């Protein structure tokens, strides 16, 4: 094992980076973690989206799921936070918060369906309980994995022998099982696709016995305000199905906690508790209009839950059917500013009848970087005019962020933009894709990359890594330079990474450097470092007597090259490290050499 770190470790937490839309609430125990790589669907205002993570917290996965067991002071601390709703399988406590009233809730469901009990029974037959075992990577000790844990959540059956649930419910899964209502049999399920940004996962079961006598749900249209909704799932407080009812309170573009993206969401006042994640929300006709996925807890608010609407679900399903896999929601790849000031509009050459938003920055890796530039004014998207506050018309009497129009597109699709550039109106067609994140929000299930030389552990910075190193308060405790890169920096190339010297495993060969922790590496022997693979190749290809590393804050690390290579294997043996690098840096894929064989340049 590596020596005790100087940085604070995180508790076992979910992979998804919670995004603050309002004051946030500690999520009940959740199987989330898929880090990430979510971009806002319409613009890449990374600072605005990721800055919202302040105060976002998730309950440690080994914590009891029953909030009633906490004292009043702890509950007050946890108020005002938002989180995913997947419940711990180990939660055995039965609280008195109304979750035991299953039968009256089922009566409400059948009443909403005009008293047709058979219809209500059919809807409940479509809902399944999901049992998942997770094994997360250890981002601080990347050659290891954390202790596995279990969670329960909800899902529902759709056309094509598929099951939909939340992505955070099956994140870093090693085994997924499902059980139908009233059955004592659990069936092993396979994960077909995981949509990190939209927090949706698609499962299937190979055993034909699972599908006998069940009818898939039917999707309904986007509901209206005050339409009634019924949420079905398996939340904490009991093992059987729970049914709650409410109305649609609001429909708007919302920050998705797990995906770090901004997509359309429905706010409802039906109770959504831990374990409801992935459960369907039905309208009065028995049509599925959403998937429960997160809720808001605050001392000034009650019964605020969120469901993923049918347009987002259908986008995910169509994307999978088109490409055989999930390809993400595209982004326009810009940062923009409202133009509500009349003086700004006049100074920038806008006519009185013109409206739009100012482009502050363009992602260098986005396809639109060839067409748009800083200072341009975006007037319309796909022939829909954009107001000065960044909104577009949405149904009768409603307006919504123009990000919604972008989120309706698919990766590599084209969009028509109308832009005011240098005082002239131009029409242009651009391709939409996901720009590369310099510091990714998700790792999409991949294990962390690392490289070790002479006890120096190098790695790539990601949001899961920062959370692992600095805990829940990583957005306060992490080095300012890394936080600035996370919130404001943009990648110049798709393969660009922020590489850091994570820690130094103390040995005679690295005396004097033991206190260096999480410091960015800029150069190796005078050559810039593009990514971790580039650093590895530079070290392996070095023929100089010394290895010189130029770090952030003008720090310098110098090692004798041959002594560094010779000491690496012994240091790995002491700390029980099987390989000096992660699998993605192994020689069979990159043509470089590992510590398991003598270095080619040693003599």
HEC string of 59-73 equals: CCCCCCCCHHHCCHH
User: Distance between CA 347 and CA 461 in Å, rounded?
Assistant: 41
Give the CB-side neighbour count of residue 452, counting CA atoms within 13 A: 30
If DSSP states are collapsed to H, E and C, what string results for 322-386?
A: HHCCCCCCCECCEEEECCCCHHHHHHCCCCCCCCCEEEEEECCCCHHHHCCCCCCEEEEECCEEC
The backbone region for 160, taken as left when phi is positive above 0, alpha when psi lies in -120 to 50, beta otherwise, is: left
DSSP class of residue 11 equals P
CA distance 81 to 296: 6
Q: Taking the CA of residue 97 as centre, how many other CA atoms within 13 Å lie in the half-sphere pointing to its CB?
A: 19
The Cα–Cα gap between 247 and 267 comes to 9
Query: How big is the chain, counted in residues?
Result: 603
**Residue 191 to residue 214: CA distance in whole angstroms:** 20
3-state helix/strand/coil string of 109-178: HHHHCCCCHHHHHHHHHCEEEEEEEECCECCCCCCCECCCEEEEEEEEEECCCEEEECHHHCCCEEEEEE
Q: Degrees (nearest 5) of the Cα angle 167, 171, 174? A: 130
Contact 256, 262 (CB under 8 A): yes
CA–CA separation, 459 and 134 (whole Å): 23
Catalytic residue among 168, 172, 173, 258: 168
**Separation in Å, CA 113 to CA 216, 217, 225, 277, 287:** 17, 15, 19, 23, 10
- How many other C-beta atoms lie within 10 A of the C-beta of residue 165? 30
199 is catalytic: yes
In our burial notation (b when 16+ CB lie closer than 10 A, e otherwise), range 45-54 reads bbeebbbbbe
- Decide if 260 contacts 19 (C-beta within 8 A): yes
Put residue 375 in one of left, alpha, beta given phi > 0 → left and psi -120 to 50 → alpha: left
Catalytic entry in 37, 112, 274, 277 = 277
What whole-number distance in Å separates Cα of residue 197 and Cα of residue 263?
Answer: 9
C-alpha 483, offset from chain centre: 17
Q: Which of 43, 67, 171, 199 is catalytic?
A: 199
| C-alpha torsion 82→85→91→95, nearest 10 | 70
Whole-number Å distance between alpha carbons of 540 and 41: 40
Under 8 Å CB-to-CB from 232, ≥6 apart: which residues? 109, 123, 124, 127, 154, 156, 241, 242, 243, 279, 280, 282
Distance separating alpha carbons of residues 531 and 517, to the nearest angstrom: 18
The alpha helices in 36-174, defined as continuous H runs, are: 46-51, 72-78, 102-112, 117-125
Residues recognised as catalytic: 168, 199, 277
């Amino acid at each position: 094992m590596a020596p005790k770190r100087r940085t604070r470790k995180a508790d076992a937490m979910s992979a998804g980076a919670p995004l603050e839309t309002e004051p946030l609430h500690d999520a009940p125990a959740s199987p989330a973690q898929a880090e990430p790589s979510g971009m806002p669907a319409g613009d890449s205002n990374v600072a605005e989206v990721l800055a919202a993570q302040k105060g976002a917290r998730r309950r440690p996965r080994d914590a009891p799921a029953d909030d009633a067991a906490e004292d009043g002071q702890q509950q007050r601390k946890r108020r005002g936070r938002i989180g995913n709703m997947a419940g711990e399988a180990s939660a055995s406590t039965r609280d008195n918060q109304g979750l035991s009233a299953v039968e009256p809730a089922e009566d409400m469901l059948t009443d909403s369906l005009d008293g047709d009990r058979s219809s209500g029974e059919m809807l409940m037959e479509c809902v399944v309980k999901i049992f998942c075992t997770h094994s997360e990577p250890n981002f601080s000790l990347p050659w290891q994995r954390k202790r596995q844990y279990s969670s329960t959540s909800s899902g529902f059956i759709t056309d094509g022998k598929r099951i939909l649930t939340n992505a955070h419910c099956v994140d870093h899964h090693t085994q997924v099982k499902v059980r139908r209502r009233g059955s004592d049999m659990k069936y092993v399920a396979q994960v077909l696709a995981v949509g990190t940004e939209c927090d949706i996962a698609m499962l299937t079961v190979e055993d034909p016995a699972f599908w006998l006598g069940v009818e898939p749900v039917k999707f309904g249209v986007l509901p209206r305000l005050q339409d009634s909704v019924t949420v079905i799932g398996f939340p904490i407080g009991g093992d059987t199905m729970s049914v709650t009812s409410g109305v649609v309170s609001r429909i708007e573009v919302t920050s998705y906690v797990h995906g770090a993206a901004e997509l359309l969401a429905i706010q409802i006042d039906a109770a959504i508790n831990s374990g409801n994640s992935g459960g369907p929300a039905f309208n009065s006709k028995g049509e599925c209009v959403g998937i429960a996925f997160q809720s808001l807890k605050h001392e000034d608010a009650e019964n605020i839950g969120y469901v993923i609407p049918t347009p987002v679900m259908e986008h995910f399903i169509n994307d999978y059917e088109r490409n055989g896999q999930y390809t993400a929601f595209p982004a326009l790849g810009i940062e923009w500013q409202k133009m509500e000031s009349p003086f700004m509009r006049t100074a920038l050459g806008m006519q009185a009848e013109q409206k739009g938003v100012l482009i502050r920055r363009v992602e260098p890796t986005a396809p639109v970087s060839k067409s748009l530039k800083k200072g341009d004014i975006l007037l319309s998207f796909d022939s829909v005019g954009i107001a000065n506050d960044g909104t577009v018309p949405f149904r009768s009497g409603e307006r919504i962020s123009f990000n919604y129009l972008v989120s309706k597109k698919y990766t590599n699709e084209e969009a028509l933009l109308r832009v005011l550039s240098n005082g002239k109106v131009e029409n242009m067609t651009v391709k939409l894709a996901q720009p590369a994140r310099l510091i990714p929000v998700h790792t999409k299930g991949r294990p962390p990359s690392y490289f070790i030389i002479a006890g120096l552990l190098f790695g790539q910075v990601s949001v899961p890594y920062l959370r692992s190193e600095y805990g829940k308060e990583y957005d306060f405790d992490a080095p300012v330079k890394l936080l600035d890169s996370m919130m404001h920096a943009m990648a110049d190339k798709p393969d660009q990474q922020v590489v850091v010297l994570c820690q130094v495993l103390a040995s005679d060969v690295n005396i004097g450097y033991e206190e260096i922790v999480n410091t960015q590496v800029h150069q190796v022997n005078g050559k810039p470092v593009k990514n971790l693979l580039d650093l590895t190749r530079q070290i392996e290809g070095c023929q100089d007597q010394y290895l010189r590393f130029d770090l952030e804050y003008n720090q310098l690390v110098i090692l004798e090259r041959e002594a560094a290579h010779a000491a690496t294997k012994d240091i790995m043996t002491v700390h029980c490290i099987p390989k000096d690098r992660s699998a993605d840096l192994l020689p069979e894929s990159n043509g470089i050499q590992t510590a398991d064989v003598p270095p080619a340049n040693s003599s």
